[in-house]
Amino acid sequence: MFGKLKGVEERFLELERRLSNPGTVQNREIYQKCVREHSELSPVVEAFRVYQQILRDMDDSTQLLEDPDPAIKNLARTEVEALSRKKKELELNLRKLLMPRDPNDEKNVLLEIRAGTGGDEAGLFAADLYKMYSRYAENRGWKVEIMSLHPAGVGGVKEVIAMVQGRGVYSRLKYESGIHRVQRVPTTETQGRIHTSAVTVAVLPEAEEIELHIDPSELKVDVYRSTGPGGQHVNTTDSAVRITHLPTGLVVTCQDEKSQLKNKVKAMKVLRSRLLDHMVQEQQTKRSQERKIQVGTGDRSGRIRTYNFPQGRVTDHRIGLTLYRLESILQGDIDAIIDELITFYQSQALQNAEPAKSSRTADYP
């Protein structure tokens, strides 16, 4: 690890020299790449320099253990113990910083929320979850754009698909995929009985066109008249679009825009991201069969979280975390849960990871 850290520091210094070179500044593309990599390496180098200073301090304190004065010896022993603890903490942090980054972490995401079992109550909770994530996005300065919305009942939704755009969106939301369970007394319940409903959440990284080529001959595009609440142009023109990807059978529909072209563009964005997710899931399934261990996938095959209204409790079952502040969580205050999930999956990855070359060594002409 020490040799790898020295290499990272040398690369960091090289980037600093390049960024001070007028020739680099004049080339916008290379300059932006250098700035981005410099920013990524900065926390690693900063932690490494602190680590080096601790090693020097430990050497100095260790030498004082040979001092004939008992008082100085005791002080030196206390200092060495404290520095040893800091050294171990920094080593763990440096290992995390050196782990290859998820290439999707900086991407925008498609957030898909669907009502599951529970009838109208599931639809109402699906709307609650959409509001929770929307408020969380607003707090972080992200932009949310609805791609598709299918209302259900009074204030509920059958399905909502939204694009969330901003810095590091996928890195924060990728572990939200799964079944979210709610336990509460519905407003229509006359005897006060608690009902259990479920909502599924899927978080898909946005797929760029250059990442995934879709053969137009493999697509079936149907247009039809929009359905739903009235309004100008609704139900009067064939603006709704349904796209079927024939090889996989994936179907995407969009009817929220008045323009057929805009609906097609939105539908293609959703289809591209679903196809990328489909490919990733296939790769992960194959890998899990080979290793029988799959770390940090946000597997949506089972219940991941329960929101219990009578107790004001939220429990994430993957990490055994329980918080008794349901109201603030539904207002978008979910950083405490997300931070714990990130720490948990990072620790799992550290235990299972094999030594790998750092992905932070790109070079530019």
Residue 113 confidence class, pLDDT cut points 50, 70, 90? very high
Q: Which residue has the higher pLDDT, 96 or 201?
A: 201
Q: Under CATH, which number does the domain 2-98 receive?
A: 1.20.58
Find the mean pLDDT for residues 275-292: 62
Is residue 356 predicted with pLDDT exceeding 60? no
**Residue 329 neighbours by CB distance under 10 Å:** 21
Is residue 157 predicted with pLDDT exceeding 90? yes
Q: Tell me: the pLDDT tens digits for 8-60?
A: 889 989 999 999 998 888 888 888 888 888 888 888 899 889 999 999 999 98
Q: Tell the burial category of 341 from Cβ atoms under 10 Å away from its Cβ (0-12, 13-18, 19+).
A: buried
Find the mean pLDDT for residues 178-182: 94
Residue 341 zone, left/alpha/beta (φ > 0; ψ -120 to 50; rest): alpha
Q: Tell me: the pLDDT tens digits for 339-352?
A: 999 888 887 777 66
Residue 119 and residue 136: Cα distance in Å, rounded? 26
Please give the share of the chain, as a percent, with pLDDT higher than 70.
Answer: 84
Report DSSP letters for 88-156, one per residue.
HHHHHHHHHHHSPPPTTTTS-EEEEEEE-SSTHHHHHHHHHHHHHHHHHHHHTT-EEEEEEEEEETTTE
Domain 210-292 classified CATH 3.30.160.20?
A: yes
Residue 41 and residue 261: Cα distance in Å, rounded? 42
Helix (H, G, I), strand (E, B) or coil at 353: coil
* Predicted pLDDT at 230: 46
* Predicted pLDDT at 303: 87
- Of 348, 363, 346, 365, the closest CA to residue 101 belongs to 346
pTM, rounded to two decimals: 0.61
**Residue 215 neighbours by CB distance under 10 Å:** 9
Is residue 292 predicted with pLDDT exceeding 70? no
**Taking all residues of the chain, what is their mean pLDDT, rounded to a whole number?**
83
Among 168-177, 223-232, 306-315, the range scoring the smallest mean pLDDT is: 223-232
The residue ranges of every structural domain in the chain are 2-98, 210-292
- H helix count then E strand count, the chain: 9, 11
* Predicted pLDDT at 190: 63
Q: Contact, 111 vs 133, CB < 8 A?
A: yes
Is residue 199 predicted with pLDDT exceeding 70? yes
Find the mean pLDDT for residues 217-244: 72
Find the mean pLDDT for residues 333-342: 94
Q: Tell the burial category of 23 from Cβ atoms under 10 Å away from its Cβ (0-12, 13-18, 19+).
A: exposed
Residue 170 and residue 176: Cα distance in Å, rounded? 10
Same fold, 2-98 and 210-292: no
Find the mean pLDDT for residues 198-209: 83
* Predicted pLDDT at 221: 87
Query: Measured between alpha carbons, how far is residue 45 from residues 2, 102, 107, 211, 357 in Å?
Result: 12, 20, 25, 31, 17
Find the mean pLDDT for residues 194-209: 85
